[in-house]
Amino acid sequence: MDIDVLGALAVRENGIPVTPSAPKPRQVLALLALHADQVVPVALLIEELWGERPPRSARTTLQTYILQLRELISVALEHDPEDAEPRTAKDVLVTMPGGYLLKTSGGASDVREFEKLAGTGYRAMDAEDFPGAARQLRDALALWSGSALVDIQAGPQLELEIRRLEETRLCALYQRIEVDLRLGRHRELLGELTVLVSRHRTHENLHGQLMLALHRSGRRGEALDVYQRLRHSLVRDLGLEPSVGLRRLQRSILMAAPEPALEVPVAGGERLSRVG
């Protein structure tokens, strides 16, 4: 079974789509697909579908949605190779004690591939293999065709998962830009960073990267303007001043001094001190 969630939901068995069109079964499949090869508790599925006040018929209705998914899987299983061991839909969408499990049987998952490529890119950064890091992170980000599960009507559980995925995407994007800055691609980054800071008006790291790219492109005044706009947004929206690291960068640009080291977040919440 192949699973794509980094964009529209697409689940295929033997290359045949098994994604239903009805919103509720799509939610069930999306949550099962995000946790493929793991048991998803019935309680979690019910909360996803109905929130904190499920109807009395919730379990029965959920079983109906599972049956609908299995019917789609059954059609796809008719295309199993003739020499393959016979399977039923219950072997793919498995009833487990307290929940359900969607078996991929070694199929592709864009989330798993993204995490693998991004992890390789982070390790390449740590080894100061910046061209290799840029390549791996670009390949990871290329797996995204839009916002995660963009075509799914998400409940509370999927909303949490979508936010988590979007954060990992933003982290990989930030790291890829960091690598490009190290490779001297500051002029090429200006357009991309300008769009990103307009979308993320209080994201200090992206603003810091745009300040560096502008400063290195000989546009010192614009770099300082970026800082002032960020400070205004932070104070207005969050009641916060820019971080010490960003203030240090602003002073360095103001005084035309050598750029200070920047604190760069990496996967897992760690921080590394890097020169911008």
pLDDT tens, position by position, 109-127: 999 999 999 999 999 999 9
CA-to-CA dists, residue 145 to 13, 121, 149, 184, 232, angstroms: 21, 20, 10, 27, 33
- As a whole number of angstroms, the distance between CA 154 and CA 27 comes to 7
Distance CA 219, CA 269 (A): 32
Question: Rounded to the nearest 5 degrees, what angle is found at the Cα of 38, between the Cα atoms of 105 and 15?
Answer: 35
Q: What CATH code is assigned to 186-276?
A: 1.25.40.10
pLDDT range class, residue 256, cuts 50, 70, 90:
confident
Asked if pLDDT for residue 271 goes beyond 50, the answer is no
Could you tell me which residue, 265 or 143, shows the higher pLDDT?
143
Least confident of 31-35, 145-149, 252-256: 252-256
Give pLDDT tens digits for 42-52: 999 999 999 99
Model confidence at 268: pLDDT above 50: no
**Residue 10 CB partners (closer than 8 Å, separation 6+):** 2, 3, 4, 17, 19
Tell me, what's the pLDDT at 257?
Answer: 58
CATH number of 2-102: 1.10.10.10
What is the average pLDDT across 187-201?
Answer: 96
Q: Which of 166, 160, 125, 116 is nearest to 144 (CA)?
A: 166
Q: Which residues face 11 on adjacent strands? A: 3
Q: What is the band of 259 on the pLDDT scale with cuts at 50, 70, 90? A: low
Q: Give residue 188's pLDDT band: very low, low, confident or very high (50, 70, 90).
A: very high
Among 59-73, 77-91, 117-131, 183-197, the range scoring the smallest mean pLDDT is 77-91
8 A C-beta contact, residue 172 and residue 121? yes
Give pLDDT, residue 82: 83
83 pLDDT band, cuts 50/70/90, is confident
- How much is the average pLDDT of 230-242? 95
Q: Is the pTM of this model over 0.95?
A: no
Give yes or no for a contact between 177 and 192, defined as CB atoms under 8 angstroms apart: yes
Confidence of residue 269 (pLDDT cuts 50, 70, 90): very low
pLDDT by residue (tens digit) across 13-50? Answer: 999 999 999 999 999 999 999 999 999 999 999 999 99
Domain limits, CATH 1.25.40.10, in the chain:
186-276
Main-chain phi, psi angles of 132, to 5 degrees: -65, -40
Q: What's the pLDDT band for 272 if we cut at 50, 70, 90?
A: very low
**Tokens linked to 37:** 């090869």
Residues contacting 198, CB < 8 A, separation 6+: none
Section 186-214 average pLDDT:
96
Question: Which of the four pLDDT bands, split at 50, 70 and 90, describes residue 274?
Answer: very low
Report the pLDDT averaged over residues 42-65: 96
CATH 1.10.10.10 region(s) of the chain? Answer: 2-102
The pLDDT of 216-236, averaged and rounded, is 95
Question: What is the model's pLDDT at position 262?
Answer: 52
Are 117 and 139 spatial neighbours (Cβ–Cβ below 8 Å)?
A: yes
Phi and psi at 235, nearest 5°, equal -65, -45
Share of residues in the chain with pLDDT > 90 (%)? 89
